[in-house]
Amino acid sequence: MLIRSKLMEINLLADLQELDTENPGTWPQSVKILFISVLVVLTIGLGYYMFIGDELKTLDRVSAQEDTLRTTYKVKHSLAVNLDAYRQQMTEMEVQLATMLKKLPAGHETPGLLDDITFVATSSGLKISAITWGNEIEKEFYTELPLNIDVEGKYHQFGKFVSEIAKLPRIVSLHDFSITNKGSEILQFQVLAKTYRYKED
């Protein structure tokens, strides 16, 4: 078998050397088959390179684009299906925001808030040493209005004061407590109260 294969190789090489390029019809059968096979392979390779290769790249690109569009569609479909729920939630949030904004004092309401805090302190049994406004602190959506409160009284009176501050119609938060013993049962309470004003555009 090996000898026969070697002989065919030698015959093929000999046939290739004796070819008449002017008259391919006279070529031996093995050379014709080899020549046609090479032409077919070259034609397929060239066709793939020129036509199919670019189309496969386009197919890959379009497939990736399809995946992206499919993901986008799923997200948008999910939003569309839940649109009524989102609208309801948005309406509720707008109502909550409006309610919260009403609890923020306007610029002309801060003296009234100071009166409310003074009333709460005295009605709780505390003696007011000082209540002073600090410098306004500008934030992105609101302005912070600090109020330094210095009062004297008993511990339970201060607890009542804190409770009543929480009940005010305006938002007031208490920070940085400091308690000093003044003797007997009297304590000095220093606290930083903060209220907020919405920044309107």
Domains of the chain, start order? 1-81 (no CATH), 106-198 (3.30.70.60)
Q: How far apart are CA 104 and CA 14, in angstroms?
A: 104
Q: How far apart are CA 137 and CA 144, in angstroms?
A: 5
User: Which amino acid, residue 86?
Assistant: Y
User: 56: which 2 tokens?
Assistant: 């496969």
pLDDT score recorded for residue 199: 72
Q: What is the pTM for the complete model shown?
A: 0.51
What averages of pLDDT result for each successive group of 10 residues across the chain (201 residues)? Answer: 55 66 74 84 83 82 92 89 88 86 66 87 92 87 88 92 90 89 86 83 58
pLDDT score recorded for residue 58: 86
pLDDT score recorded for residue 193: 92
pLDDT score recorded for residue 100: 77
pLDDT score recorded for residue 24: 73
pLDDT score recorded for residue 91: 92
Residue 113 contacts residue 170 (beta carbons within 8 Å): yes
pLDDT score recorded for residue 70: 93
User: 18: which 2 tokens?
Assistant: 């004796």
Where would I find the H helices in the chain?
2-17, 29-47, 53-81, 83-102, 110-123, 155-166
The β-bridge partners of 81 are: none
pLDDT score recorded for residue 8: 54
pLDDT score recorded for residue 69: 93
